[in-house]
Amino acid sequence: MSRIASVLLPMPLPEAFDYAEPEGMDLNVGDQVAAPLGPRLMRGVVTALRDGTGGNRPLKPISHRIDDPPLPPGTLAFIEWAARYAADNPGWPLAMAMRGLRAPKPKPERIVVPTGLDPKRPTPARTKVLEAAAREALPAPRLAEAAGVSSGVVKGLIDEGCLAIEERLPDRTPPPLDVSPRQGSLNPGQAAAAAELIKKFDTHAFSATLLDGVTGSGKTEVYLEAAAHALSKDPEAQVLILLPEIALTQAVIARVAARFGSPPGEWHSAVAPPRRRTLWEDVAAGRKRIVVGARSALFLPYRKLALIVVDEEHDGSYKQEEGFIYQGRDLAVARAHLEGCAVVLASATPSLETLWNAEQGRYGWLKLNARHGVATLPEVTMIDLRETPPERDHWLSPPLVQAMAETLERGEQTLLFLNRRGYAPVVLCRACGERLTAPDTDSWLVEHRYTGRLVCHLTGFSMPKPEACPHCGAKDSLVSIGPGVERVEEEAKRLFPEARTAIFSSDTMFSSQSARELVEAMERGEIDILVATQAAAKGHNFPNLTLVGVVDADLGLRGGDLRAGERTFQLLAQAGGRAGRADRPGRVLMQTYAPEHPVMQALAASDRDSFVAAEMELRQLSGLPPFGRLAAVILSGPDPVQLEAFAQDMARVAPNTPGVEIFGPADAPLGLIRGRRRKRLLVRADRNVDLSAYMAAWKARVKPRGQLRLTIDIDPYSFL
Domain 183-368 identical in fold to domain 379-420+483-616: yes
- CA–CA gap between residue 73 and residue 692 (Å, rounded): 23
- CA–CA gap between residue 419 and residue 552 (Å, rounded): 8
- Say what the pLDDT of residue 252 is: 87
Q: Are the CB atoms for 20 and 59 separated by under 8 Å?
A: yes
Question: Domain boundaries in the chain?
Answer: 3-97, 109-168, 183-368, 379-420+483-616, 628-714
For 318-363, the pLDDT digits (tens) are: 999 988 999 999 999 999 999 999 999 999 899 999 999 999 999 9
User: Regarding beta strands 545-550 and 587-592, do their DSSP bridges make them parallel or antiparallel, or are they unpaired?
Assistant: parallel
Short-list 558, 554, 559, 557, CA closest to 669: 559
Q: State which of 1-5, 358-362, 452-456, 476-480 shows the largest mean pLDDT.
A: 358-362
Residue 409 predicted with pLDDT over 90 = yes
Sorting pLDDT into bands at 50, 70 and 90, what band is 508? low
- Say what the pLDDT of residue 227 is: 94
Sorting pLDDT into bands at 50, 70 and 90, what band is 691? very high
- Say what the pLDDT of residue 55 is: 66
- CA–CA gap between residue 161 and residue 384 (Å, rounded): 79
For 509-520, the pLDDT digits (tens) are: 656 677 778 888
- CA–CA gap between residue 65 and residue 44 (Å, rounded): 10
Q: Which has the minimum average pLDDT: 255-269, 289-303, 365-379?
A: 365-379
Q: The domain 628-714: what is its CATH number?
A: 3.30.70.600
User: What is the pTM assigned to this prediction?
Assistant: 0.85
Architecture of the domain made up of 183-368: 3-Layer(aba) Sandwich (3.40)
Sorting pLDDT into bands at 50, 70 and 90, what band is 584? confident
User: What rounded mean pLDDT belongs to the chain?
Assistant: 88
Sorting pLDDT into bands at 50, 70 and 90, what band is 36? very high
- CA–CA gap between residue 147 and residue 127 (Å, rounded): 9
- Say what the pLDDT of residue 373 is: 57
- CA–CA gap between residue 638 and residue 643 (Å, rounded): 8
Q: The domain 3-97: what is its CATH number?
A: 3.40.1440.60
Sorting pLDDT into bands at 50, 70 and 90, what band is 537? low
Cα–Cα–Cα angle for 567, 568, 570, rounded to 5 degrees: 65
Residue 559 predicted with pLDDT over 60 = no
- CA–CA gap between residue 253 and residue 183 (Å, rounded): 20
Residue 375 predicted with pLDDT over 70 = no
According to DSSP, the residues that pair with 682 across neighbouring strands are 632, 663
- CA–CA gap between residue 82 and residue 713 (Å, rounded): 13
Q: Are the CB atoms for 301 and 337 separated by under 8 Å?
A: no
- Tell the CATH topology of 379-420+483-616: Rossmann fold (3.40.50)
Sorting pLDDT into bands at 50, 70 and 90, what band is 538? low
